[in-house]
Amino acid sequence: MKKYKIITYGCLANHSDSERIAKKLEDQGYLKSENPDLVIINICSIRQAAVDRAFAQAKKYKNVIVTGCLLKSDYDKFTKYAKIVKKENLFSVKPKNSCLIPIMTGCNNFCSYCVVPYTRGREYSRPPKEIIDEAKLFINNGAKEIWLLGQNVNSYKYDFPKLLYKINSIPGDFWIRFLSSHPKDMGNDLIKSIRDLPKVTEYINLAVQSGDNEILKKMNRNYSIEEYKKLALKIKREIPNVCLSTDIIVGFPGETKKAFQNTVKLFKEIEFDMAYISKYSPRPGTLASKMKNQITFEEKSRRYSELNNLLKKISLKRNKQLIGQETRALINNNFIGKTKNFKTIKVNGSSNNSFVDVKITKALIWGLSGKIK
Ligand code: 5AD
Ligand code: SF4
């Protein structure tokens, strides 16, 4: 029997690709194993740290294939240790148990720090019928949660809220989640769909990246912090129980202490439930990598810790407010799962991959504890 292992770095879209690659290999008779004859490393160039970790893995194994959304310079590094394979169109492959559905790939935004427009190319939206058929197939196979993935689902060419509406009307007991939204094109119709469609979960990842207008401009984000705040507050007001998360980059070139404090201020004002904080990583070929006033690694680490400590406090405070509430949760394994609005929850029992009704009994920094009703 041929044995394989897949190592994945990067976003959910990359994980979705890995599942599809795994399905292809299994169709060819490969078996998943920790002692593999073939190792596939599926990486993303978005941050240097991921590339470095992948490189260490590539050196460890004998028969390695590297694939992913990589910059040419990163690909070249790997040629000594691995065979490089470009990703072919994976849309036609239907993984069995997975429910990650890419609805679009690529990005047209060209944020000045980001490699995605170079590695994944321009935006391409899949036709709605293809996506709906795939969702139906997953649901008929027992999927309880469908993730719709895109770098910016708001610019889905065939109307994202309409797609949500159509998937919501597929019969069955399941949740619809999506990632990611760009603040510059998050419309009222999407906010309304999240509020009104029962299967669409109240979780929004709305990357702000920085709390400072000058940095936002240098990042080419196309919104002001005032516009972002207005939008975040509207979301919180319109969607009861919404859980709002964000992405932040600390130490972008030219980020002064004062500019960083504007991000701290934003955290205190908006009280995000969760934030994915990254230290700025200069990527070859991007505009930001050539900007003056790059921040030292030590200072980036200091800013990261300051923000992360604040996030822990806010997250605990937000979680405490939920004690006593009743909610539905999808429990995956080891009695751990997610509430409808994507809070991690530990419960006192349940079988695998099932919905339960729970009462929230305890708040932790990164999640909740609850008792099954
Ligand atoms: N350095 C650090 N973080 C980055 N991200 C994207 N590019 C970089 C970079 N060069 C982060 C952003 C984005 C998330 C997916 O990764 O915060 O929202
Ligand atoms: Fe990168 Fe900006 Fe596109 Fe997101 S929106 S993928 S950060 S260029």
Most confident option among 253-257, 330-334, 347-351:
253-257
d(CA 42, CA 87): 9
* Same domain (yes/no): 152, 231: yes
Which atom number of ligand 2 is nearest to the Cα of residue 110? 8
Residues 14 and 50 in one domain: yes
Q: Are residues 280 and 176 in the same domain?
A: yes
Last residue of a domain, one of 56, 84, 112: 84
Ligand 2 touching residue 182 (CB < 6 A): yes
Tell me, yes or no, whether 214 lies in a domain: yes
- 281 CB within 6 A, ligand 1: yes
Q: Whose C-alpha lies nearest to ligand 1, atom 9?
A: 281
CATH of the domain at 249: 3.80.30.20
Give the domain extent around 339.
Answer: 326-372
- Within-domain flag for 55: yes
Same domain, 144 and 126: yes
On whether both 184 and 213 belong to a single domain, the answer is yes
Domain boundary among 17, 49, 84: 84
- Specify whether 34 is located in the same domain as 108: no
List, for residues 161-212, the tens digit of each pLDDT value.
Answer: 999 999 999 999 999 999 999 999 899 999 999 999 999 999 999 999 999 9
Q: What's the pLDDT tens digit per position in 198-241?
A: 999 999 999 999 999 999 999 999 999 999 999 999 999 999 99
Quote the CA–CA distance of 246 and 200 in Å, as a whole number: 19
The Cβ of residue 171 has, within 10 Å, a number of other Cβ atoms equal to: 8
Nearest-CA neighbor of 339 among 362, 361, 367? 367
- Cβ-proximal residues to 125 (8 Å cutoff; 6+ apart), any chain: 103, 104, 150, 156, 157, 158
- Asked if residue 161 is part of any domain, the answer here is yes
Instruction: Report CA(25)–ligand 1 centroid distance (Å).
Output: 31
Within a domain: 89: no
Using pLDDT thresholds of 50, 70 and 90, give the confidence band for residue 98. Answer: very low
Of the candidates 222, 150, 220, 210, the residue with the CA atom closest to the CA atom of residue 183: 222
Other Cβ atoms closer than 10 A to 371? 13
Q: Per the structure block, which two tokens stand in for 31? A: 């078996």
Q: What is the pLDDT of residues 272-329, one digit of tens each?
A: 999 999 999 999 999 999 999 999 999 999 999 999 999 999 999 999 999 999 999 9
Whether the per-residue pLDDT at 97 is higher than 80: the answer is no
Residue range 70-91: mean pLDDT, rounded: 78
pLDDT mean over 330-349? 89
CA 107 to ligand 2: nearest atom = 3
Lookup result for tokens 């609805």: 103
Is 63 strand, coil or helix? coil
DSSP 152: T
Q: Kindly state the average pLDDT of the residues 44-62.
A: 88
Asked if residue 52 is part of any domain, the answer here is yes
With b meaning 16 or more CB within 10 Å and e meaning fewer, what string describes 223-241? bebeebeebbeebeeebee
* Segment holding 337, helix H or strand E: strand 336-339
Residue 119 Cβ contacting ligand 2 at under 6 Å: no
Task: Indicate the residue among 84, 111, 141 that finishes a domain.
Answer: 84
- Ligand number nearest CA of 44 is 1
pLDDT score recorded for residue 140 = 86
Confidence band for 114, pLDDT divided at 50, 70 and 90: very high
Same domain assignment for residues 31 and 113: no
Which residue in this structure is represented by tokens 């005032």? 226
Nearest CA to ligand 2 atom 1: 114
- In order, the DSSP letters of 111-149 are -TT--HHHHT-S-EE--HHHHHHHHHHHHHTT--EEEEE
Q: Where do we find the tokens 């610019």?
A: 155
Do 295 and 336 lie in a common domain? no
Q: How far is it, in rounded angstroms, from Cα 285 to Cα 370? A: 48
CB atoms within 10 A of CB 158: 14
Ligand 2 pocket check for 107: Cβ under 6 Å: yes
What is the tally of structural domains in the chain? 3
CATH of the domain at 352: 2.40.50.140
Domain co-membership, 244 together with 353: no
Residues near 44 by Cβ (< 8 Å), separated by ≥ 6? 9, 10, 11, 14, 50, 68, 69, 70, 119
Radius of gyration of the chain (CA): 21
- Residue 359 makes CB contacts below 8 A (sequence gap 6+) with 324, 325, 326, 370, 371, 373
Q: Looking at the domain assignment, is residue 146 inside a domain?
A: yes
Q: Which of 113, 180, 252 to mutate to test the pocket of ligand 1 (most atoms within 8 A of CB)?
A: 113
What is the biggest distance separating any 2 CA atoms in the chain, rounded to whole angstroms?
A: 60
List the one residue out of 156, 126, 115, 164 whose CA is nearest residue 289: 115
Q: Is the pLDDT of residue 141 over 90?
A: no
Question: How far is residue 231's CA from residue 202's CA, in Å, rounded to a whole number?
Answer: 15
Q: Considering the domain boundaries, does residue 91 fall inside one?
A: no
* pTM, to two decimals: 0.86
Do 220 and 351 lie in a common domain? no
Residues 271 and 152 in one domain: yes
Alpha-carbon gap, residue 189 to 169, rounded angstroms:
17
Whether residue 141 sits in one domain with residue 49: no
Joined tokens for residue 362: 């305890």
Asked if the structure places residue 236 within a domain, the reply is: yes
Q: Which residue has the higher pLDDT, 27 or 298?
A: 298
Supply the mean pLDDT for the chain: 92
What span, in angstroms and rounded, lies between the C-alpha atoms of 143 and 141? 6
Measure Cα distances from 75 to 82, 93, 373 in Å. Answer: 10, 25, 52
Q: What separation in angstroms does the CA of 306 have from each of 11, 107, 256, 260, 300? A: 25, 31, 15, 10, 10
